[in-house]
Amino acid sequence: MKKLIIGILASGRGSNLQAIIDNTKKGKIDAEIGCVISDKEDAFALERARKANIPAHYIYPGTHKTFLDPECEAEYIKCLKKHNVELICLAGFMRVLHPPFLRVYRGRIMNIHPALLPSFKGLHAQKQAFDYGVKVSGATVHFVDEGVDTGPIIVQRAVEIENDDTPDMLEQRILKIEHKIYSEAIQLFAEGRFKIIGRRVIKK
């Protein structure tokens, strides 16, 4: 059977990308990675991709800090299409995508967020949760919609926050969970084992 082709967008060290690479190799995800794209020329994620013989592209993001300039966004879409990408996975991609991008790939873009959404959206979610004093936080994989961290939730998993935790310790524990649940969400998509009713992603 033809494998699902995923495209991964990453801005940084790419540990989630690495977990996805490893799990495709282990057969835990029935998908192949068509390409990895970064908005940062020196992102370690690009090196991880090259090491795994995956096409790796730096594409200039434009002059804005939080989103891609429209003409740059078009270049991203062109590249994803060239590699026949069917599902886009944002893995530490620190930019907001615009409606034109979302229209092309509606329902086919996932993101991982290091908190239990809808709590602690945006940047530094682990630190936000720690400083707020919650006793439980975690990680969320969700579909991307027009908002920031607002799309339908696919998989979520919790971690408890202990008295002697530090923000760094919490971040590490959440990251371990991220590495597991992103692959689970991708596999769910690959098998088409879900339906969406309103905001609810229901496993079949």
* Identity of the amino acid at 91: A
Secondary structure of residue 177 in the 3-state scheme: helix
Task: Note whether 23 binds ligand GAR by CB under 6 A.
Answer: no
Of all residues in the shown chain, the one whose CB is closest to ligand GAR is 92
Q: With binding defined as CB under 6 A, does residue 151 bind ligand GAR?
A: no
The region of 62-70, 71-79, 108-116, 158-166 touching ligand GAR under the rule CB under 6 A is 108-116
Residue 112 found at the interface with ligand GAR (CB under 6 A): yes
Provide Rg for the chain, Cα atoms. 16
Exactly one of 64, 83, 113, 124 is catalytic; name it.
113
- The neighbouring-strand residues paired with 158 are 138
As measured in angstroms, the least distance from the Cβ of 2 to ligand GAR is 27
Q: Is 124 a catalytic residue?
A: no
Q: In three state form, how does the secondary structure of 81-129 look?
A: HHCCCCEEEECCCCCECCHHHHHHCCCCEEEEECCCCCCCCCCCHHHHH
Minimum distance, C-beta of residue 97 to ligand GAR, in the bound complex (Å): 12
Chain Cα centroid distance, residue 86: 14
The token pair that represents 142 in the structure block: 């969700």
Given a contact cutoff of 8 angstroms between Cβ atoms, the answer to whether 76 and 11 are in contact is no
Of the candidates 4, 8, 9, 16, which one interacts with ligand GAR according to CB under 6 A?
16
Closer to ligand GAR by CB, 83 or 142: give it: 142
- Determine which residue in the list 34, 61, 92, 151 makes contact with ligand GAR, applying CB under 6 A: 92
Interaction between residue 14 and ligand GAR (CB under 6 A): yes
Q: What is the DSSP letter of 58?
A: E
| # residues near ligand GAR by CB under 6 A | 14
Residue 127 lies near ligand GAR (rule: CB under 6 A): no
C-beta separation of 47 from 75 below 8 A: no
Q: Which residues neighbour 71 within 8 Å (Cβ) at sequence distance 6 or greater?
A: 62
Distance CA 31, CA 115 (A): 26
Residue list 160-189, contact with ligand GAR (CB under 6 A)? 175, 178
Per rule CB under 6 A, is residue 91 in the interface with ligand GAR? yes
Q: Which chain residues interact with ligand GAR by CB under 6 A?
A: 10, 12-16, 91-92, 112-114, 125, 175, 178
Q: Which positions are annotated as active-site residues? A: 113
